[in-house]
Amino acid sequence: MPSRAHPYDQLTPDRVIAAIESVGFLSDGRLLALNSYENRVYQIGIEASAPVVAKFYRPGRWSTPAILEEHAFAFELTGAEVPVVPPLIRGDRSLFEHEGFRFAVFERRGGRWPELATEHDREWMGRFLGRIHATGRRQPFEHRPTLTLERFGETPRDWLLESGWIPEHLLAAYESVSSELLDAIATQLEFTPALLRLHGDCHPGNILWTEAGPHFVDLDDCLTGPAIQDLWMLLSGSRREMGEQLGQILQGYAQFSDFDYGELRLVEALRSLRIMHYAGWLAQRYDDPAFPRAFPWVAEARYWEQHVLNLREQMAAMEEGPLELS
C-alpha cells in the first residue's frame, strides 16, 4: 500500500479561519469540523451573525470548471424554487482560493436524516427528485463526469488489482467474480436510457428533512446519468419491499418529471457499480488520516472477503431480472 502526504496536511484551523476572512467574513474563532471525508467541511462562527459552513475541496479531485458547474446547477435549482443550499456569492464569485485550497461558503441549514418510513414521505421525496430532474433535463453538463462502466467499475477494479490492496488469497476470486460482474453490467447497460443532470449520490445520509420537507445541502457528486440512479439508493429491504417503495416514490416523481420504466432493469447493475466504486474509493483514500479513523476495517482481510461475497450476491441479484413495482 503506497503512502504519500495527504492533501489536507496544511489545512490548519488558522488557515481555515484566514480563508473565510479573506472573503469578507469576520470569524469569532469558533470552528467545528463537520462529517465529511472526501472534502473538509467546517462550521465557522461569525461575529454578530449566524455561523457559515465552508467546504474545502479535495485538491486534484475536480477541475475548477467542474466545481463552478456544480455551483451553477445549485443556483439553477434554487431559481426553480427547488430546496437546495447554494453557495454564497461574495464579490460576484462563489468559488474562492486561499493558500492553495479552493473553497466555497454556504448558509448553515439544519435538518434530520429522512426515515422514508411512510408512503407519504416516499411520495414527498419523489416529488422533490422529480423537480430536480425536471430542471436537470433542461441542458447537459459540460464538465461534470458521466456515470459509465469504465469510471465506476473497470477503473476501480483495475486499480485494486494493481495496488496490493486485495489479499493474496482472494486475488483469483476477486479477479474472476469482478470480471463476470462487469460483463453482466455491460449487458444491462446496452439498454440506453435518456441521460440528465443528477444529484448522483442520493442516499438518505445526503438528504436533510425538516417540517418543510427534504433538501440537499451539497451537490459535490452531481453527474450525468439515468434518472434511476437518484432513486434506487433510497430503497431497502427485500425485492418486494423495494418494489413497493419505488412505486410510491414514482407516484410523487411523476407529478413533475417523466420516468422511463425500462430503467428498472438498471437497478442492480448500478448497485453493483456503486459497490465496486466504493471499495476502490476507500482504498485510494486510505492515505488520508480521516479514512483509517473512520473505516479501520478496510485494512482487514475480512472486509475484502465480504466484498468478494457481495459481488457474488450481486451476480445472483442481476440474474433475478428487473425490479417489479407493487
* pLDDT for the residue 113: 82
* pLDDT for the residue 5: 63
* pLDDT for the residue 111: 84
Each as own residue / partner, the long-range contacts of residues 76-80 (CB below 8 Å, 24 or more positions apart, any chain) are: 76/135, 76/138, 77/132, 77/135, 80/131, 80/134, 80/135
Q: Which CATH superfamily is domain 119-319 in?
A: Transferase(Phosphotransferase) domain 1 (1.10.510.10)
Q: What is the DSSP letter of 297?
A: G
Active site residue 201: yes
CA atoms within 13 A on the CB side of 55: 24
Domain 119-319 in the same topology as domain 13-107: no
3-state helix, strand, coil in the chain (%, to 5): 50, 15, 35
**Cell digits for 309?**
461475497
* pLDDT for the residue 1: 38
Q: Which helix (H) or strand (E) covers residue 50, if one does?
A: strand 49-56
**How far apart (Å, rounded) are the C-alpha atoms in residues 179 and 182?**
5
Active site residue 218: yes
- 28, 92, 201, 287: the catalytic one is 201
* Domain locations along the chain: 13-107, 119-319
* pLDDT for the residue 66: 98
Instruction: For domain 13-107, give the fold.
Output: Phosphorylase Kinase; domain 1 (3.30.200)
* pLDDT for the residue 114: 82
User: How do the pLDDT tens digits run along the chain, 326 residues long?
Assistant: 334 567 798 999 999 999 999 999 999 999 999 988 899 999 999 999 999 999 999 999 999 999 999 999 999 999 999 999 999 999 999 999 999 999 999 999 888 888 888 999 999 999 999 999 999 999 999 999 999 999 999 999 999 999 999 999 999 999 999 999 999 999 999 988 899 999 999 988 888 898 888 888 889 999 999 999 999 999 999 999 999 999 999 999 999 999 999 999 999 999 999 999 999 999 999 999 999 999 999 999 999 999 999 999 999 999 998 999 98
- 218, 220, 230, 288: the catalytic one is 218
* pLDDT for the residue 3: 42
Encode burial over 195-206: b for 16+ CB neighbours within 10 A, e otherwise.
bbbbbbbbebeb
